Structure 1
């Protein structure tokens, strides 16, 4: 993520020693993303070097973070490949660095697959379903903090920055989603902890083998179908046009259903949730683009990308094949 808070080697070294991970060897800021401060941390213990990711949370507070960190612990304990937060001698996995809440987690092996094929989509779909099932007995509860209430709160602050056609699209879609969220079918959709941000740059592969999901700091309890829709809007979408690649989308959903079959209502409501996923990220990118915070190495994403996706999902609804 972008570097909003500068962490000195001395501060990073103190954390590494407190967690009994050895001696700090290297500290490098990570430029991708726009929510938190992230660094790669390399530590050496008994001649062996290990890489970690240090995250300082810029918007989330100490009271919210246990949900995310313990969810990662929970999933890791059930065989889902996610970064495991490091604990101090007392077992605490939420720390303080530079006066801000922080966590140090394992760095996953491999690299991003930014041009996914059917092979990659199949693996992500199946693992997403495994993750949803593994999280069903997670005891902590926290809503998706970037869900509908946040959209309603945020839209008025970004409307003045849009042209007439954009304002119309945003207001119309928000009204549609508010109405849809009150429908009995939507309220009955299966729910549980979801990732809510599982884009191509939040999954790692070694070759064609998936090695893990990471960046759970938008996670929350919401519909599983919303998680599927967010993935389809990224993993199975042409980045230039915003069109859904139906071949990849069908492979993704089929792989998901091989682990957790979708209900009849989930299949029926897929078009509305694809629109919801596009709206969520259009709003957040507009907000970050027009109302940015100061940060070193900040690279805000183009809001137009999700505007194109939303228009495509409205114009061309998609249902998975039976």
Structure 2
């Protein structure tokens, strides 16, 4: 969440006339994140988040907004989009597609404890059980083909050891298809800063603008990599056991998912290492922005490459009793 497109009070007042949400009190740009322009908006009718989409066309945005509404209406704590008086979730502001969504209470956790990890694991499993029936489809935009294309772009900027590791991991991932894994709509970016807690209670999962149709176990791997590793890429056992144990209790893995798990953890680490290298070496201009260091995800990737099949063994040993292994 950054500010690439500036919105002043007059522009926002006119924009809000489309909604039944009261009159503008104040708005403030949000600096964290790197993809879209975001503002906190307070009106006489409530508190909201305004997003101006910088990298998505209007034709692909209904998937995100419809998914957010679908999840919220199925008791998954997500921010429901606010419809205009005409019933539309998507509109336009300053030449950008734009949406207004409910602002949830709570804040993110920098260092979640095992209890918080268990809560996110349970909720992500429920998310997947619900989203399996979501009728819309969106292909991943940060898939292996994207990683290979970005790797080519990075050839003139990355260091020799970065390029060597990247080439080796891309070759490995070519042999790790996941089309046969259970799938549906996934979050694809459920990091700690995309979950809100209030007094130990999970109050919201936010920022679904990487959501797509992909393997549920891959989505879990993205989450585990952020929530359950330290700054050196080492697994935090208590946090990992809590998150995975809570997830598996709600949605046990199939045998195919168990076998794929080590490669999925590597694929999830690769995706964020590559995207952060891209942002580091080819930053975009913005009024407010925050570029994240790619080094932690390189360390996570290297740690998963060393750990190997022991990761799948943990899943086998911790599946709920009575579940086929």
Give the alignment's TM-score, normalised by structure 2: 0.94
What secondary structure is seen at the aligned counterpart in 2 of 1:197? coil
**Is the counterpart of residue 162 in structure 1 residue 158 in structure 2?**
yes
**Is the counterpart of residue 227 in structure 1 residue 223 in structure 2?**
no
Deviation at 1:136, TM superposition (A): 1.3
1:12-27 alignment to 2 at 5 Å? 12-27=12-27
Deviation at 1:17, TM superposition (A): 2.2
Q: 1:287 aligns with which of 248, 273, 278?
A: 278
CA-to-partner distance for each residue in 1:282-302, whole Å, 9 max, x for gaps?
A: 010011111111101211000
| Larger displacement relative to structure 2 (304-313 or 9-18) | 9-18
- Corresponding residue number in structure 2 for 1:29: 29
- Corresponding residue number in structure 1 for 2:241: 250
CA-to-partner distance for each residue in 1:76-134, whole Å, 9 max, x for gaps?
A: 11111100101112110001000110110011101111101110000000000100111
Answer whether contact 1:243 1:309 (CA < 8 A) is retained: yes
The gaps in structure 1 that reach 5 residues or longer are none
Answer whether contact 1:82 1:212 (CA < 8 A) is retained: yes
Answer whether contact 1:16 1:43 (CA < 8 A) is retained: no
- Corresponding residue number in structure 2 for 1:60: 56
What secondary structure is seen at the aligned counterpart in 1 of 2:174? helix
C-alpha distance in 2 between matches for 1:297 and 1:8: 15
**Is the counterpart of residue 202 in structure 1 residue 194 in structure 2?**
yes
CA-to-partner distance for each residue in 1:195-248, whole Å, 9 max, x for gaps?
A: 00000000000021100100000000000011000011000011x211111221
What secondary structure is seen at the aligned counterpart in 1 of 2:275? helix
What secondary structure is seen at the aligned counterpart in 2 of 1:293? coil
C-alpha distance in 1 between matches for 2:213 and 2:168: 26
C-alpha distance in 2 between matches for 1:98 and 1:29: 15
C-alpha distance in 2 between matches for 1:130 and 1:15: 35
C-alpha distance in 2 between matches for 1:114 and 1:267: 29
Deviation at 1:193, TM superposition (A): 0.4
C-alpha distance in 1 between matches for 2:296 and 2:11: 38
- Corresponding residue number in structure 1 for 2:87: 91
What secondary structure is seen at the aligned counterpart in 2 of 1:180? coil
What secondary structure is seen at the aligned counterpart in 1 of 2:156? helix
Answer whether contact 1:52 1:107 (CA < 8 A) is retained: yes
C-alpha distance in 2 between matches for 1:269 and 1:162: 29
- Corresponding residue number in structure 2 for 1:41: 41
C-alpha distance in 1 between matches for 2:137 and 2:179: 17
What secondary structure is seen at the aligned counterpart in 1 of 2:100? strand
What secondary structure is seen at the aligned counterpart in 2 of 1:3? coil
Answer whether contact 1:42 1:51 (CA < 8 A) is retained: yes
What secondary structure is seen at the aligned counterpart in 2 of 1:5? coil
**Is the counterpart of residue 143 in structure 1 residue 139 in structure 2?**
yes
Give the alignment's TM-score, normalised by structure 1: 0.95
Deviation at 1:15, TM superposition (A): 2.1
Equivalent pairs counted in the alignment come to: 313
Deviation at 1:189, TM superposition (A): 0.7
**Is the counterpart of residue 236 in structure 1 residue 228 in structure 2?**
yes
Deviation at 1:159, TM superposition (A): 2.4
